[in-house]
Structure 1
Amino acid sequence: MAGIIFCEATELYNLLNQRTKYSRLTEPIYLYLVDVRTKSEYDESHVITAKRARRDEDDNYLLPHDIELECVKYCVVYDGNTKSSDETGPAIEYAKLLEVVSRQPIRILNGGYEFFSACYPFYRTQVIFYMLQELDAFEPYPIEVLPAKLYLGDFKQASDKQIQKNLKFKAYLNLCQAKEINFSGEENISVLHIPSSEETDLLSHFPMVCNFLDEQLDKGTVLVFSTLGISRCSTIVMAYLIHSQKISLKDAWAHVQKCKATSRPLRDFVHQLSKWEQIVLKKKITDISDPYY
């Protein structure tokens, strides 16, 4: 048995928004999301892609029959409001059933549906069955790096008015070379545009960027984005974490990778981050000769 762990709302949000070429939700054994609330509660609304836990005629939970649970990478269970401090609850009961057959830890959503839907109301739905075409068409949202504060994304997401409305962005840090966003009709939006490419010396911009993010994060949510949302924006976010959290490059890298698995600064940017680590922390901590970096 791989055990049971609690996951935060931001972790489930990020799991729902992982992508390679397409959303990872199209992968059959990527995420199995289970709702153990009553049928009426589930029918009224649930988290997108969630399936309702099966019960027998005596109201006992049954193992899912529509998936090979031992092969699933992430299995997340939620009820109404079970918290990590609770010792009992429907989600905990069902997780204990699932952990017997799973090779990966069973995750219980901390705070349950009530907390998650309050944080991300746009991910509530009444849709029960998802066709593959629907999942193919699913457009992931920017990744959440600091809960309800700092997000990491691409140009397409930054240009999406619905995303801007739902995540209530108050500021943007644009790292695209020449692309700018039209904010016509929008008020009180702050934008810092640093035209950049693979050859840009981002290190020289780190102090200004960190000052901008410090100021804007005190006011609301901020999106850092580059063209594809893979290299430059993740470099900037790591630099900010080193600055604001006073953590090593290694720890900043691990956090961003956990949030967005496809984050991958170019090698030259890694060297710049290493220099930044020495400037901020007054010493070199991370060995970037490790091929992992």
Structure 2
Amino acid sequence: MAGIIFCDATELYNMLNQCTRYSRLTEPIYLYLVDVRTKYHYDESHVITAKRAKMDVDGNYLMPQDVELECVKYCVVYDGHTKSFDTEGPALQYARLLEIVSRQPIRILNGGFEYFSACYPFFRTQKIFYMPQELDAFEPYPVEIFPAKLYMGDFKQACNKQVQKDLKIKAYLNLCNEKEIFFTEENNPLILHIPSSEDTNLFSLFPTVCDFLDKHLDKGALLVFSTLGISRCCTMVMAYLIHSQKLSLKDSWAHVQKCKATIRPHRDFVQELSKWEETVLKKKITDVSDPYY
């Protein structure tokens, strides 16, 4: 058995927003999300794509029959409000049942539905069944680097008015060639635009970017975005983590990759991050000759 662990609301939010060409929610063995609250509360509102746990006539939880649980990458269970220090609860009871067959750790949502829905009310729904084409059409939100503060995404997400409204974005770091993005009429966010170019030396821009993020993260949520959201934006976010959290490049990479699995910084950018790590931390920690980078 792989065990039971707790996951935070941010982790589940990022799981829901992973994508390649399409949202990863279209993959049947990517995420199995289970609601163990009462039918009344489930029908009233639940997290998108969540299924309700079934019970027999005696009130015992039943093993799900609609999923190959041993093959699922992420299995997340939530009840109303279980927290990591709670010793018992329906989420933990159901997780113990799933743990028997799962090859991956069963995750319990820390804070349960109440906390998650308070953080991400736009991910609540009453919808129970999803057709494959509906999941194909699902548009992921930017991933969350710092809860309710720092987000990372692509140009399309930056232009999405609903994303701006739901995440309460107040400032943008634009790393695309395109300068114009669209905003809701009531908002006039701040923008730092660094055009994309093969000749751009990102290392020389790291101090400017870090200063911009330092100044504006205390004033509201900020979105860092590039054209595809997999290279320039994650390079800048890693540079900021090295600066603000004093993390090594390796640890910064691990944090950003945990938030967005498909990051692919250009090789030249990795070299510039290595130089930045040595500049900020006064020593070279990460071996970027490793093929992992």
- The two structures share one fold, judged by TM-score above 0.5: yes
C-alpha distance after superposition, 1:94-118 (max 9, x if no partner) = 0000000000000000000000000
Contact kept, 8 Å, 1:7 with 1:107, in 2: the verdict is yes
- Match for residue 259 of structure 1? 259
C-alpha distance after superposition, 1:196-216 (max 9, x if no partner) = 234421111100100000011
- Whether 2:276 is the aligned partner of 1:292: answer no
Q: Distance in 1 between matches of 2:230 and 2:13?
A: 18
- Match for residue 72 of structure 1? 72
Q: Distance in 2 between matches of 1:83 and 1:13?
A: 17
- Match for residue 147 of structure 2? 147
Task: Give 1:181 shift.
Answer: 1.0
Alignment of 1:1-293 (within 5 A): 1-183=1-183, 185-293=185-293
Does the residue aligned with 1:218 lie in a helix, a strand or coil? helix
C-alpha distance after superposition, 1:125-178 (max 9, x if no partner) = 000011101100000000001111100000000000001000000100000013
Q: Distance in 2 between matches of 1:226 and 1:27?
A: 26
Q: Which amino acid aligns with 1:24?
A: R
Contact kept, 8 Å, 2:75 with 2:107, in 1: the verdict is yes
Q: Structure 2 length as normaliser, TM-score?
A: 0.99
Task: Please identify, of 181-190 and 127-136, the stretch whose mean Cα deviation from structure 2 is larger.
Answer: 181-190
Does the residue aligned with 2:138 lie in a helix, a strand or coil? coil
Task: Please identify, of 172-181 and 62-71, the stretch whose mean Cα deviation from structure 2 is larger.
Answer: 172-181
Q: Distance in 1 between matches of 2:184 and 2:223?
A: 18
Q: Structure 1 length as normaliser, TM-score?
A: 0.99
Q: Distance in 1 between matches of 2:177 and 2:142?
A: 19
Does the residue aligned with 2:219 lie in a helix, a strand or coil? coil
Q: Which amino acid aligns with 1:57?
A: V
Contact kept, 8 Å, 2:153 with 2:226, in 1: the verdict is yes
Q: Distance in 1 between matches of 2:184 and 2:4?
A: 48
Contact kept, 8 Å, 1:277 with 1:283, in 2: the verdict is yes
Q: Distance in 2 between matches of 1:214 and 1:238?
A: 14
Contact kept, 8 Å, 2:151 with 2:224, in 1: the verdict is yes
Does the residue aligned with 1:114 lie in a helix, a strand or coil? helix
Task: Give 1:264 shift.
Answer: 1.3
Does the residue aligned with 2:224 lie in a helix, a strand or coil? strand
Task: Give 1:189 shift.
Answer: 1.1
Q: Distance in 1 between matches of 2:91 and 2:224?
A: 35
Q: Distance in 1 between matches of 2:122 and 2:207?
A: 35
Task: Give 1:191 shift.
Answer: 0.5
Q: Distance in 1 between matches of 2:126 and 2:118?
A: 16
Contact kept, 8 Å, 1:176 with 1:195, in 2: the verdict is yes
Contact kept, 8 Å, 1:198 with 1:266, in 2: the verdict is no
Task: Give 1:183 shift.
Answer: 3.3
Q: Distance in 1 between matches of 2:266 and 2:3?
A: 36
Task: Give 1:235 shift.
Answer: 0.2
Contact kept, 8 Å, 2:175 with 2:227, in 1: the verdict is yes
Gaps of 5+ in 2: none
Contact kept, 8 Å, 1:274 with 1:288, in 2: the verdict is yes
Number of equivalent positions: 293
